[in-house]
Amino acid sequence: MNELLKAGANCRLQASHGMTVLMYAVLNGSDAILESLCSAAQYQSSSKQESVKLSPSRVSTLSGRSLPVLMKPSQVLTKSSSQVLESSSLPGVSLPSGSTLSASSPLPLPSSLPTPLPLAKSLPTRQLPIVNMQDREGITALMLACKVGASSYVDILLRYGAQAHIRSFRGENALTFALMHDRVHCVEVLVQRCGFIDARSRNHLRGALFTAAELNETGIIRCLVHQPSYIQQFVDEIVQSPSRVEETTVEVALRDEMKQGSEEEKTTVAVLCIKQAYYCLRLLMGVVQGVPLGSQQSLSGVAECAKWCIKLCKVFHEEELECLEPFWICIERMTERQKEVLTPSITTGRSEAESHDEGWGPAILPSSSTRLLLSFIEIYVLGHYNLKVAADIPQKQNGVIQPRLRHFFTVNQVFLKYIF
């Protein structure tokens, strides 16, 4: 192989189905072979002499058609324009009888344009560096390395300039291939060297962390939860479409991994979660005031995301929950107002749909407002249950009920029993 490379073997040439020599090395080679080929490919990609000058006869062979042999510049300079035109067998171009051409005369246009020559499939493409060339399906050598699980190959290809963000013609990138085949070590290398990679495609509409949770790929989940960008993408997807199974899977992995994590890492996750919880609560308050959610957001998803983030914030850095105090006050007031409106229904037995709640806005029916209120109450309970309290307050073995939460249950006992 080294002798062939020294003799000028072109690493850019592709087989009939688009496979490059780097792809063959990934499937059948070794670390040393791939390293040598990547080094040669890098040199050929950067060298000015990498663009091989094909002779006209060679181009004719590749394209399957005969081409006119063009003269050298020195020959053109020594001949008149009419001699040049007569000596070049261009189809459809001829001089009128008895006419002559001078150096300043415009060349006559052909009577009929020839059919364009088809681009030969074996002609080298020069749009991408060799290490990023794609086959007929748009697959690169890096995608193949992730598919077969060769993490050492992934590392070599990335060091020589392979791009993990390139997508196949189906929209998949290197991380997508690693996820679909549960290649933990390949994911570790990709994340370490490339940071965030959006693994969504036409056939996989979820991000990397959500997909790993769906496939129950525990090793990949534990790798990705150390990257805040993947957690952020996960909570954004919860807002669009919640899924309790995936939420629980990621939550358990986060709790386990953060036991060994640094305080800085825990704080980073807690801050991310509290920001997302604050954002979700603002969306829910907007719904109360008649502001509709976005097309990619669902009411249940927003509420579920808020609860998920609050739970994790309590685990890692519960002091961050202090910024939610304005929302707690709003929830207490809304509960009191809704209780006053529904009191006739409780006492007379009327259905909820027969009662009217002016405090929730005309766009929300009482049944919808009650479901929304239940979501607010669940979030309120999560924010106040099992928190640190003063030392003189007795604590139960199954958790701590903050005095504020105890008072909330006491004053709204009948109402909460009715709506629940």
- For the entire predicted model, the pTM comes to 0.71
Q: Quick one: pLDDT at residue 319?
A: 80
299 contact partners, CB below 8 Å, separation of at least 6? 284, 287, 293, 372, 375
Q: Look up the CATH architecture of domain 1-44+126-194.
A: Alpha Horseshoe (1.25)
- Using CA atoms, how far apart are residues 226 and 224, in angstroms rounded to an integer? 5
pLDDT confidence band for 43 (50 / 70 / 90)? confident
**What is the tens place of the pLDDT at every residue in 354-392?**
444 434 444 444 466 777 888 888 898 888 876 444 444
**Closest listed residue to residue 107, CA positions, set 83, 81, 88, 87:** 81
Taking each continuous run of H as one helix and of E as one strand, the counts in the chain are: 20, 0
Residue 306 has pLDDT above 60, yes or no: yes
**What is the tens place of the pLDDT at every residue in 400-420?**
567 888 888 888 888 887 776
- What integer is the mean pLDDT of 187-196? 94
217: alpha, beta or left? (left if phi > 0; alpha if psi -120 to 50): beta
Q: Quick one: pLDDT at residue 260?
A: 84
Q: Quick one: pLDDT at residue 66?
A: 37
- Using CA atoms, how far apart are residues 401 and 85, in angstroms rounded to an integer? 97
Helix axes of 366-384 and 299-317: crossing angle, nearest 10 degrees: 10
- Using CA atoms, how far apart are residues 120 and 278, in angstroms rounded to an integer? 58
131 contact partners, CB below 8 Å, separation of at least 6? 22, 38, 41, 42, 45, 140, 141, 142, 157, 160, 161, 162
Q: Quick one: pLDDT at residue 392?
A: 41
Residue 345 has pLDDT above 70, yes or no: no
| Span(s) in the chain for CATH 1.25.40.20 | 1-44+126-194
